[in-house]
Amino acid sequence: MAAAEALEEKQADATQAPRPRSPRRYTDLCGRHRLQARVQLLSREIGFLEEELQSVEGLQPVSVCCKEVDKYVGTTPDPLIPTYKKRHKSCCFSRWLRAMVCFNATCFTGGCSSWQNRPCCTRRPNGSCSSSGGYPSRSCCSVSCSRLRCVIPRLSCPGYSCGCVCSCSNCTKVRLCPTCLCCISHCVCE
């Protein structure tokens, strides 16, 4: 009986509507925390800026960086740039002088190069050489030649039609393969 009464009391309590609490006093909690976080961030930023100010004291001027950029760009070959190698004036003079005194065939084996007496040679894609102008093809092709050969299809040489790129002093012009337009076909000495 007592247990049943206790249970009845408990159930009555459970169904009783909760007494409303008096409303909490409004405090700007959200705004305060946000403001505090911002102040902390700004304090951190101040620290970083002070560090940076100290580090700027010992920095090299911009001209040093510019020199590094200039040097790097000048020493790296670039497939997208029309290459113009300017010969220095002193080099041109010495070449001219050699051309004036040099009359034998050894001039055309790479010993000297003259703008007026250059042999006209062509290195074919299969590696053999041909020449014009009465010069022996063997000596024509004995000049040093850096060979770039496309061995796999590349965007710059999709048709395997690339041959030799001559960077030797006797080469003044390199023709492009008309088939793929973007490919260097052979060395033409002019």
Rounded to whole angstroms, the Cα distance separating 166 from 136 reads: 18
* Residue 182: DSSP 8-state: S
CB of 3 to another protein, least distance (A): 56
Binding mask 77-116 for another protein (x = CB under 8 A): xxxxxxxxxxx-----------------------------
Amino acid occupying residue 187: C
Q: Is 153 in the site for another protein (CB under 8 A)?
A: yes
Nearer to another protein, 22 or 83 (CB): 83
**Residue numbers 38-77 binding another protein by CB under 8 A:** 38-39, 41-46, 48-50, 52-53, 56-57, 59-63, 65-70, 72-73, 76-77
Size of the site for another protein (CB under 8 A): 63
140, 121 contact by CB (below 8 A) = yes
Q: Return the SS3 of 181.
A: coil
Q: With CA atoms as reference, report the closest residue to 122 among 92, 91, 165.
A: 165
The DSSP 8-state label assigned to residue 69 in this structure reads H
Pick 1 or 64: Cβ nearer another protein: 64
CA 146/CA 133 separation, integer angstroms: 23
Place of tokens 């060395």: 187
Q: Which residues bind another protein (CB under 8 A)?
A: 28, 31-32, 35-39, 41-46, 48-50, 52-53, 56-57, 59-63, 65-70, 72-73, 76-87, 153-156, 158, 165, 167, 169, 171-176, 181-182, 184
